A and B are shown apart, each in its own frame.
Chain A
Amino acid sequence: MVGREAVMMGWLDALGRVTLEALEELGRFFYILTQALLWAVRRPFDVAEWFRQMVRVGYDSVPVVLLTTMFTGMVLALQTYRGFERFHAEGFVGSVVALSLTRELAPVLVGLMVAGRVGSAMAAELGTMRVTEQIDALYAMATQPVQYLVVPRVGASVLMLPLLTLIGDAVGIIGGWMVAVGVFHANSVVYWHRTFQYLEVNDVTSGLIKAAFFGLILAGTGCAKGFYTSGGAEGVGRATTAAVVMGSVSILLSDFFLTKILF
């Protein structure tokens, strides 16, 4: 009996610890975002830093976004064509590809790819700055580290993710068209007609709004993880991994709820 109680207590202890840790993580994430929001509206505005981050998040991510969404559009056409063939609905492949990409796949895939590319880099960069006292040095030079480091990164991500998603929408739809017309010899004119026939403005904008949220999540996670790094090089490694894992998971979880709200 005593043994069983001890096991129970051990379990409860572990549960409590995990819960506290999760709450602490969440607290840091929201703290850094509110701080960033507060400092975003105060002077000085680091235009150069904003621009630098927009290039890193946006422009530098274009190749990976092109590849991912192009092939996703292609495989989407491939799969739906095979399926729809069975009940003679091949004509609607274009509609399915366009709707799936704009509403769901382009924002989520762009979010995940950028979380891996940029969220991790933010955690590594800020984490290294933390453990080598560069963040302390900023503070000592009467510069708010959150204002100088976090505001441009979060801001650039929120701005660039929708743009990348828009590119992804277009490229994915072209990829689907290439497969439908090139592999299955679908009628190009009919395919384009079907693509836009059921596509509404809201389908695209809701995807872009989601993308902006994903940008907020991945940059917030990357910055929070990096900003509160401790424990030298190993700590930087842990922060980087955690930034990608938590960023990706948060994107996928929030995706469901955002979709539920936005429609």
Chain B
Amino acid sequence: MAIRPPTTDAAISVIDLHKSFDGKEVLRGLDLDVERGESLVVVGGSGAGKTVFLKHLIGLLPPDEGNVVVDGVDITLASPGVALDLRKRFGMSFQEGALFDSMTVFDNIAFPIRRHTERNREEVAARVHECLRLVRLNGVDTKHPAELSGGMRRRVGFARAIALEPEFLLFDEPTTGLDPINTAAIANVINVMRRELEVTAVTITHDMSLAFRIADRIAMLRRGVIIALDTPEQFRVHPDPYLQAFLKGEVPADEEEAL
């Protein structure tokens, strides 16, 4: 087991992360640094541990072993109060949006603002519309999540994630189940949000077209560890046979028994 001091300049340092569920090892010593202001995309097959990894970044899951250091604070050791304050600096978009279906779109986006700030009615409304503008949505204020299409639900999820002007944005499979045009639109929205908000973004996906559109760096997760980490250009010509198979959409030679 490699013991490595946390690098201080990284926005998020993940050090030797281990996690098992019911005896099944999902993460097996994952190491990864997210640089300040970059857009890091973690790709990998289904069941590679992508979502589990992402949930560790915000403390939704506690690790069995290892550390997650955000801005110099180890969230695995932080007190509940410190962890709570740290979470306010994160915005997370969930796979299917995870919008509160008992509330309208407006109330969904206003939820974190009303909860964590003292803004008055007009200020809240202004911020909600500002967020909706950023994700290129309008006229959906009074709609309920069930009335929206999949792509629109994701965007409302984005709007809610950025409502508190977070420093870190986490995207869990932002394009799963969307058509190519919607995927491109979502990629554009993510790029606009990154540019205007100057955030550090971590996205997990198995959609390579999305990864190449939004990534500064791409990491490949396989069997609970990072097997490659590089810029999109270098990633395309990476020598790893599994990675090349993943890019080309082929079954890798050593994985047929798993499928």
Residue numbers of A with Cβ under 8 A of B are 44, 125, 128-129, 132-134, 136-137, 139-144
Contacts and interface: CB of A to CB of B under 8 A. Distances in A.
Nearest to A129: B100
Contacts of B112: 141-143
Interface in B78-115: 84-85, 87-88, 90-92, 94-96, 98-102, 111-112, 115
B58 interface: yes
14 contacts: A44-B115, A125-B102, A129-B100, A133-B98, A134-B99, A134-B100, A134-B101, A137-B94, A137-B160, A140-B58, A141-B87, A142-B112, A142-B116, A144-B84
B205 to A, nearest CB: 16
A250 to B, nearest CB: 27
Contacts, number: 51
Contacts of A144: 84
B55 interface: yes
Given A132-B98, A133-B98, A142 B55 contact: no
B60 interface: yes
Contact of B98 (A136, A142, A143): A136
A137 B84 contact: no
A28 to B, nearest CB: 17
A139 B84 CA distance: 9
Contacts of A44: 115
Nearest to A133: B98
Contacts of A137: 92, 94, 98-100, 160
Nearest to A52: B102
Given A44-B115, A136-B55, A136-B60, A142 B94 contact: no
Of the listed residues A128, A133, A136, A141, the one surrounded by the most CB atoms of chain B closer than 10 A to its CB is A141
A128 B95 CA distance: 15
Contacts of B55: 136
Contact of B88 (A125, A134, A136, A142): A142
Contacts of B160: 137, 141
B115 A140 contact: no
Contact of B92 (A128, A132, A134, A140): A140
B94 A141 contact: no
A133 B115 contact: no
A140 B87 contact: yes
B29 to A, nearest CB: 25
Contacts of B98: 132-134, 136-137
Given A140-B94, A142-B112, A142-B116, 9 more contacts: A44-B115, A129-B100, A137-B94, A137-B99, A137-B160, A141-B87, A141-B112, A142-B87, A143-B115
Interface in B5-60: 55, 58, 60
Given A44-B115, A133-B94, A140 B99 contact: no
Contacts of A125: 102
Contacts of B84: 142, 144
Contact of A141 (B85, B96, B115): B115
B96 A140 contact: no
Contacts of B92: 137, 140
Given A140-B87, A142-B116, A133 B95 contact: yes
Of the listed residues A133, A137, A143, the one surrounded by the most CB atoms of chain B closer than 10 A to its CB is A137
B255 to A, nearest CB: 27
A116 to B, nearest CB: 21
A45 to B, nearest CB: 12
A136 B94 contact: yes
Contacts of A134: 98-101
